[in-house]
Amino acid sequence: MEAGKGLWSLIQDQILGMKWLKDAVGAGLTAMGTDISSRLGGSVHFFIYDIIKITILLCTLIFVISYIQSYFPPERSKRILGRFHGLGARIAAALLGTVTPFCSCSSIPLFMGFTGAGLPLGVTFSFLISSPMVDLGSLVLLTSIFGVKIAAVYVLLGLFVAVLGGTLIEKLHMETQVEEFIRMAGRVDLEGPALTVRDRLVYAREQVESTFRKVFPYILAGVGIGAVIHNWIPEAWIETALGSGNPFGVVLAVLVGVPMYADIFGTIPVAEALLAKGAQLGTILSFMMAVTTLSLPSMIMLGKAVKPRLLGTFAAICTAGIICVGYIFNAFQYLFI
């Protein structure tokens, strides 16, 4: 048992958390005369270490997940989901969302395709909620920062929100709230050519290049914000706004997160810095969920495909679910940290 715990600790700290990299960057900066215990030096240390760490994790995860995703092109995904019905279909859609794009804006075209193909609205919305919120990348990244227990519960609660949200939307019978050009889209089901292993590797590499170019600016911004929070903002300020003393910290975090646009890679350094400064765990996770699921750009895109009533219902369900997840984590934080 102790050997197993030691091995997992090694994986979490040295492989996922890359503490060896943190030590190496710190040693390099110190050798160049930088005092990493100072505010400025600590910020530089945090920035360089997190940029390198997240870039390595980003490229590795995108490559692996894209390779897996190559087995689930849109047409095949439609057929898979079409085999399920009722609650099983919504669960399958939520699970499928874990191996698809990394941000909500990338998920919306697939949502539109699934809806136009005639899949039930609840099924397509379960996919739309799950895809940016609980992808496999979030599981690995959250494990590297918070540990496997927090990452696993986060993913399970995210899947629960996705399934519940899809169920509520289906029960409300809001099919007429989808724009007509989506509902009347032609249902073409072409069988794609079989991909070789080489084809899948090339596809995965191209996805790494494309996604990295798209998200790297947000990583820079996220790490920069995290460095400022980590070394310049007084701990008392964070504890007052997002600590246990503020019962509305979760709501505040969600309201701040919604207008932002980023993915899990951009929010991780901010979350890491907030946790170190005394913010509550659930408050941090609800902020991350809000940023990745309800960003303003994605809501604008979705507004082109659905009518205001359905858009508002979707936003309300996601917001309520995210807030509930935040309070659940805050209530049981003592079990995780």
What is the rounded CA–CA span in Å between residue 124 and residue 96? 11
Number of separate helices (H) and strands (E) present in the chain: 18, 0
Q: According to the model, what pLDDT value does residue 152 have? A: 87
The interaxial angle of helices 308-331 and 281-293, nearest 10 deg, is: 160
* Strand ranges in the chain using DSSP code E only, listed in sequence order: none
What is the rounded CA–CA span in Å between residue 290 and residue 100? 18
Tell me if residue 334 falls in helix, strand or coil.
Answer: helix
- Report whether pLDDT(29) > 90: yes
For residue 296, CA distances in Å to 111, 162, 255 come to 17, 19, 11
Q: According to the model, what pLDDT value does residue 190 have? A: 47
Enclosing domain of residue 313: 37-336
- Report whether pLDDT(192) > 80: no
Q: According to the model, what pLDDT value does residue 188 have? A: 46
Place 180 in a pLDDT band, splitting at 50, 70 and 90: confident
What is the distance of C-alpha 291 from the center of its chain?
8
More confidently predicted of 297 and 142: 142
What is the rounded CA–CA span in Å between residue 311 and residue 302? 7
Whole-structure pTM over 0.85, yes or no?
no
Picking from 201, 34, 40, 169, the residue whose alpha carbon sits closest to that of residue 94 is 169
Q: Is residue 178 in some structural domain?
A: yes
- Report whether pLDDT(104) > 90: no
Place 8 in a pLDDT band, splitting at 50, 70 and 90: low
Hey, which residues does 107 pair with through a beta bridge? none
Number of domains in the chain: 1
Q: Is residue 243 in some structural domain?
A: yes
Q: Is residue 12 in some structural domain?
A: no
Mean pLDDT for the stretch of residues 241-247: 80
- Report whether pLDDT(302) > 50: yes
Question: How many C-beta atoms surround the C-beta of residue 253 within 10 A?
Answer: 28
Q: Is residue 8 in some structural domain?
A: no
Place 194 in a pLDDT band, splitting at 50, 70 and 90: confident
Q: According to the model, what pLDDT value does residue 256 have? A: 80
What is the rounded CA–CA span in Å between residue 208 and residue 86? 35
Tell me if residue 171 falls in helix, strand or coil.
Answer: helix
Mean pLDDT for the stretch of residues 71-95: 81
What is the distance of C-alpha 9 from the center of its chain?
24
Q: How is residue 218 written in tokens? A: 């947000």
For residue 333, report the phi and psi dihedrals to the nearest 5 degrees: -60, -35
- Report whether pLDDT(163) > 90: yes
Using only the alpha carbons of the chain, give its radius of gyration. Answer: 21
Q: Is residue 16 in some structural domain?
A: no
Q: Is residue 61 in some structural domain?
A: yes
Q: Is residue 21 in some structural domain?
A: no
pLDDT digit string, tens, across residues 260-301: 666 666 777 888 888 888 889 899 889 888 887 887 767 877
Q: Is residue 28 in some structural domain?
A: no
- Report whether pLDDT(144) > 90: no
Of the spans 63-72, 230-239, 280-289, 297-306, which averages the highest pLDDT? 280-289
Q: According to the model, what pLDDT value does residue 120 have? A: 86
C-beta of residue 56 within 8 angstroms of C-beta of residue 94: no
More confidently predicted of 46 and 73: 46
What is the distance of C-alpha 38 from the center of its chain?
32
Q: According to the model, what pLDDT value does residue 25 have? A: 93
Q: According to the model, what pLDDT value does residue 5 have? A: 61
Mean pLDDT for the stretch of residues 320-335: 90
What is the rounded CA–CA span in Å between residue 281 and residue 275? 7
Q: According to the model, what pLDDT value does residue 56 have? A: 87
